[in-house]
C-alpha cells in the first residue's frame, strides 16, 4: 500500500510539472488551480521563475491556499479585477479596440485575460466532463478558468469514471442564507430524482471531501 501511495504522489508531480513545462511561457498570465495535483504545477512555476527559465509571468490563484503557496515561492500575483481594470485603461487609451465587460469572463464578451489555467479534477468521464470543487474552491476555480484562453486539466487514471456522480460526489457551493432552498432545488432536478441522489451538507473542513467536523464547511468566499 505504501508503494502505491508513493507512485500516486510521484505521478501527480510528473503531470503537474509537465503542464507548466508544456503550456506556460514567459510573459503569460496564468490561472493556478487548487488541490494535491495542482500543488505541483504551482511548485514547478515557482522553480522556473526562480531559475530565470521563465520571466514576466503573473498568476491568478483559485484559493487562499494556492495564493499562500504562490507567495511563498515568489510568484507574482494579480486578480481578475486588476486585469479587468487594466483592460479598461487600455481601452480608454485606444477607444477603437473592442473591449469585454468588466470581468465578464465566459459571458459572451470574449474577455479572456488569462493565457492558460492549470488545475486538477476530482473525477472525469470519457466525454471529458469533470467534477471539480472537492477542495472547497469551486466558485473561484470556475471563475478563473472561464477567463482562460486555454484550460489544462491534470489528473491521473484513478480519477477516471464511466459517469459522474457515483465516483465522487458533485460539490455545489451555496450561499448560507438559502442553503435549504438550494438543497430542495437540487433535489427537484430530474437527473437527481431519477438517480435517487440526495443533497447533503458538507461538514468539517472545506479543503477536502470528508466529514471531519460537526460545523458546516465554509469556503474562502464565506459560502
Active site residues: 141
Concatenating the DSSP letter of every residue in 159-223 gives: GB-SSTTTSS-------GGGHHHHHHHHHTSHHHHHHT------BS-TTSSS---SSBP--TT--
For the beta sheet containing 58-61, the strands, ordered from the edge strand earlier in sequence to the opposite edge, are 58-61, 29-32, 116-119, 151-153
Query: Strand 29-32 to strand 58-61: parallel, antiparallel, or no bridges (unpaired)?
Result: parallel
Per-residue burial over 148-158, b if 16 or more Cβ lie within 10 Å, else e, is beebbbbbeee
Helix (H, G, I), strand (E, B) or coil at 123: strand
Alpha carbon distance, N-terminus to C-terminus of the chain: 36
CA dist., res. 30 & res. 34, Å (int): 13
Helix (H, G, I), strand (E, B) or coil at 83: helix
Amino acid at each position: 500500500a505504501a508503494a502505491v501511495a508513493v507512485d500516486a504522489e510521484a505521478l501527480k508531480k510528473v503531470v503537474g510539472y509537465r503542464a507548466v513545462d508544456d503550456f506556460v511561457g514567459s510573459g503569460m498570465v496564468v490561472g493556478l488551480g487548487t488541490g494535491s495535483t495542482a500543488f505541483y504545477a504551482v511548485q514547478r512555476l515557482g522553480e522556473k521563475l526562480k531559475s530565470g527559465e521563465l520571466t514576466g509571468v503573473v498568476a491568478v490563484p483559485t484559493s487562499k491556499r494556492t495564493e499562500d503557496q504562490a507567495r511563498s515561492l515568489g510568484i507574482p500575483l494579480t486578480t481578475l479585477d486588476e486585469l479587468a481594470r487594466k483592460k479598461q485603461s487600455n481601452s480608454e487609451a485606444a477607444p477603437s479596440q473592442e473591449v469585454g465587460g468588466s470581468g465578464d469572463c465566459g459571458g459572451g464578451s470574449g474577455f479572456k485575460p488569462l493565457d492558460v489555467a492549470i488545475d486538477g479534477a476530482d473525477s472525469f468521464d470519457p466525454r471529458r466532463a469533470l467534477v471539480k470543487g472537492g477542495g472547497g474552491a469551486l466558485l473561484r476555480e470556475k471563475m478563473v478558468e472561464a477567463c482562460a484562453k486555454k484550460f489544462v486539466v491534470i489528473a491521473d487514471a484513478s480519477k477516471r469514471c464511466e459517469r459522474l456522480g457515483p465516483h465522487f460526489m458533485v460539490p455545489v457551493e451555496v450561499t448560507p442564507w438559502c442553503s435549504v432552498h438550494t438543497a430542495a432545488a437540487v433535489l427537484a432536478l430530474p437527473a437527481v430524482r431519477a438517480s435517487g441522489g440526495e443533497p447533503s451538507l458538507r461538514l468539517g473542513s472545506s479543503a477536502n471531501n470528508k466529514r471531519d467536523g460537526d460545523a458546516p464547511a465554509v469556503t474562502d468566499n464565506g459560502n
